[in-house]
Structure 1
Amino acid sequence: MTSRLFPALAFAGVGALILSGCVAKADLAGSDALSVSSTAAGCEVSGSSATSGTLTFDVSNDGDEVTEFYLLAEDGLRIVGEVENIAPGASRTLTVVAQPGDYYTLCKPGMIGEGVGKAAFAVSGEAVEVSGEDAEQKQQAVELYAGFVKDQVGQLAPAVSDFVAAYESGDDETARTQFPAVRAYYERIEPVAEALGDLDPRIDYREVDAVAEGLDWTGFHRIEKDLWVPAADALNADGETPAWQDWAPSTTEERAAFGDQLIADVQELYDYVHSDEFQDSLDAQGIAGISNGAIALLDEVATGKIQGEEDWWSGTDLSDFAANVEGSKMAFSLVRDFAAAQGDAGTALADEIDGGYAELESALAEYGSLEDGFVVYTELTDEDKRELTDLINALAEPLAQLTNTVLA
């Protein structure tokens, strides 16, 4: 690779936390893919162990519902790697550079609930270390990534405090104005919270997801429902349950409890991203984690925002949409040169991804911006939604090849 310093980038995205590392090209050769079959009741993986280094899981959805596949850490909670939004009959690939340790594999048909087929998965061998002439550039990408995460959470924490203050005091007009802007900080770094077990569910679960998993419903969307009181004929996100069923606006005391809980959860996230544990995990994961993060953030758009199911009461889904795309593009920008360095095919892939982001951003700009606000999601026609969906799918296809390419 030609040595090149990364430019000073505006912080706008983050990659998922993957326990992986940067390795020499020789360590990447000859890795046999593990096959995964996801069904309604099972998650069959072709092997239960592997040697440290590059691992590839070829996931086939052999069931009737859209599914996800997870590689979980030893505690069974933290997400090491994932692929989402796998349609029935379709296949997706997860590539990570795994360090020695104990893990679990899991599938989640319907993309809600506890999942099925959870099984132990062991990685043996030696720790994978950074090597090669481009190691310094790879470490620089990791440091930029770490700086971005800390910057976004550093802005999220005070913004949440201001938002909660307005909500708890009953200044709903101010809180409604702040809601999409505050959430943008979180949406750009959401995979970080998702990797920490139940933190993302506490902060960002929709009502339908909390009910499905038997969890207490807290966080942004619980507050959202107070701020945008549902109409008498409104339905919940499941499209069946009346919004007012078993529902009453929160009391002053309940608002204080929900608001204080959100502040505490964001503080937990802040403390984590400023810890040695976070930095150590980033150093271990290397560019594979950043690349997978670009994919994961675009999946966030495909699995909720484009359906209008994320901000069910406020209709501010396009703000979340835009923040996810910014985050995905930022993560991609940190590894783009590593992809382009892999010859003509790598350059073509990087150029195709560039074009996909440009087209998606251009289409999204027709409806507003994060700075000035977007139209309410219900104003989009079915044709508008199809256009955005087509652009997401067109970008997702080459982006899915990114991790394999940067590790080639």
Structure 2
Amino acid sequence: MRRTRITVAATITAAALAAAGCTAKSDDSSKTDDSDGLGPIAITASDTACEVSDKEFAAGHMQFNVENKGSKVTEVYILFPDEKILTERENIGPGTKAAIHTEIEPGTYEIACKPGMKGDGIRQTIKVTGKAKAKTEDPVLVDAAALYRDYVQQQADMTLPLAEKFAKAVKDGDLEGAKKLYAPSRIGWERTEPVAESFGDIDPKVDVREDGLEDGQKWTGWHKLEKSLWHDKKITAEDKQLADQLVTDLKDWQKRVGGAKITATSMANGAKELLDEVATGKVTGEEERYSHTDLVDFQANVEGAFTSYGLLQKVAAKNDPALTAELDKQFKSLFTLLKKYGAGEKFVSYEKVGDTQRKELSDAVNALAEPLSNLAAAVVAK
């Protein structure tokens, strides 16, 4: 049967119709493990260490319980040998815990704890052995992953012509035209950013901010051009070259998304990652510090998270109806709040959003992020 393509319009309609629900569980780190091998792997992160309770275990579904005993916000990555990301969890505050669920195949991986969410992190090598336990996959989840892959490809295909128009305006020296095309060119990327980040090498080329550059890294991509357009108010010969490079890098992304590893757990984790992106970059105004188009990115991140959730909702509701009721409620609340500021690519400048309004947005994001962190556990529950 031909799968139905997912549209963002349908996503927002579903969000608008979501019914209010009851309170979700507050922490998934204590839930019963569903791993195929030994019990949950404990990761204890601090400002100077990344301790892993077991460094060799069987392939299959695995739960990692993370505890941040440091003084800095941290993030934890599970990386393939080539630095591609298997899964991650960002924004783990001091004294807090988080559970990460993933499907892991035989091989050697690295776990990286990044105190301050900077640099290569403190690393531990783990070995995954044997063969994943054969199990009957839920056909709803299989189809959900296939549909989500279609959605990611659709967003990449949509992004490229918009990026090409943006690049052309830059190369033509059309300052005002490039400004108008900048935010629309980023929407598809922002909706599916965790998949792009999973490749490891594309995100630093196209979406890094100046303060996120590693030592020796050349600044390229959207935000370098953003600074030229709004802060410097001029387009240089280098900017014109960078516009071409942006299109080249996005073509690479477009070709590679079809080969991304997508599972139900990666979709659930990705939804949470998108909310983390909102919390750490969009609400603060750091992401689009020159153009102040943060709310366009904000909306796109939430749309992407809701698309993942919508595809997983049926299974999650069967396993944890209280959780999905709360997620329906919080998604609806956040979409309603965003409508106060605009829609699509037409949002007010984030400069015009005062401290009180920003706090209201932040509170709404946090109210959604907390239950969303439990989605992966609900999806894999037996």
TM exceeding 0.5: yes
In structure 2, what is the Cα distance between the partners aligned to 1:98 and 1:369?
39
Deviation at 1:130, TM superposition (A): 5.3
User: Pick from 122, 126, 129: which aligns with 1:124?
Assistant: 129
Task: Kindly provide the amino acid, as one letter, of the partner of residue 10 in structure 1.
Answer: T
Q: What does residue 81 of structure 2 align with? A: 74
Deviation at 1:87, TM superposition (A): 1.2
Deviation at 1:214, TM superposition (A): 3.4
Judge conservation of contact 1:290–1:334 (CA < 8 Å) in 2. no
Within 5 Å, which residues of 2 pair with 1:15-26? none
In structure 2, what is the Cα distance between the partners aligned to 1:160 and 1:190?
16
| 1:379 and 2:352 correspond | yes
Deviations along 1:113-143, one digit per CA (max 9) or x if unpaired, are 2222x121111121355515x3x22221111
Deviation at 1:273, TM superposition (A): 2.0
| 1:172 and 2:169 correspond | no
Task: Kindly provide the amino acid, as one letter, of the partner of residue 375 in structure 1.
Answer: V
User: Pick from 330, 350, 360: which aligns with 2:307?
Assistant: 330
| 1:347 and 2:321 correspond | yes
CA gap 1:28/1:55 in 2 versus in 1, 3 angstroms:
closer
Q: What does residue 164 of structure 2 align with? A: 161
User: Pick from 284, 292, 317: which aligns with 1:315?
Assistant: 292
Q: What does residue 242 of structure 1 align with? A: none
The 3-state SS of whatever aligns with 2:75 is strand
Within 5 Å, which residues of 2 pair with 1:3-402? 9-11=6-8, 28=35, 31-75=38-82, 77-116=83-122, 118-129=123-134, 131-132=136-137, 134=138, 136-210=139-213, 212-229=214-231, 250-251=235-236, 253-274=237-258, 277-278=259-260, 281-282=261-262, 286-342=263-319, 346-371=320-345, 373-402=346-375
Judge conservation of contact 1:291–1:402 (CA < 8 Å) in 2. yes
Judge conservation of contact 2:316–2:378 (CA < 8 Å) in 1. yes
Could you say what the CA RMSD is over the residues aligned between the two structures, in angstroms? 2.2
Query: Equivalent pairs: percent with the same residue?
Result: 38
TM-score, normalising length: structure 1 = 0.83
Where structure 1 has 5 or more consecutive residues not aligned to the other structure, the ranges are 14-24, 232-248
Where structure 2 has 5 or more consecutive residues not aligned to the other structure, the ranges are 12-31
Judge conservation of contact 2:33–2:39 (CA < 8 Å) in 1. no
CA gap 1:130/1:299 in 2 versus in 1, 3 angstroms:
farther
CA gap 1:130/1:188 in 2 versus in 1, 3 angstroms:
farther
The 3-state SS of whatever aligns with 2:376 is helix
Judge conservation of contact 1:28–1:53 (CA < 8 Å) in 2. yes
The 3-state SS of whatever aligns with 2:324 is helix
Judge conservation of contact 2:43–2:50 (CA < 8 Å) in 1. yes
Task: Kindly provide the amino acid, as one letter, of the partner of residue 398 in structure 1.
Answer: P
Deviations along 1:335-363, one digit per CA (max 9) or x if unpaired, are 11111112xxx111111001111111111
CA gap 1:224/1:106 in 2 versus in 1, 3 angstroms:
same
Judge conservation of contact 2:42–2:66 (CA < 8 Å) in 1. yes
In structure 2, what is the Cα distance between the partners aligned to 1:381 and 1:26?
43
In structure 2, what is the Cα distance between the partners aligned to 1:105 and 1:390?
31
Judge conservation of contact 2:37–2:59 (CA < 8 Å) in 1. no
Judge conservation of contact 2:62–2:103 (CA < 8 Å) in 1. yes
The range that moved more, 38-47 or 319-328, is 38-47
Deviation at 1:90, TM superposition (A): 1.4
Give aligned pairs, total.
359
Deviations along 1:346-388, one digit per CA (max 9) or x if unpaired, are 11111100111111111111111124x1111121111111111
In structure 1, what is the Cα distance between the partners aligned to 2:312 and 2:321?
12
Deviation at 1:250, TM superposition (A): 5.0
TM-score, normalising length: structure 2 = 0.89
The 3-state SS of whatever aligns with 2:77 is strand
Judge conservation of contact 2:167–2:178 (CA < 8 Å) in 1. yes
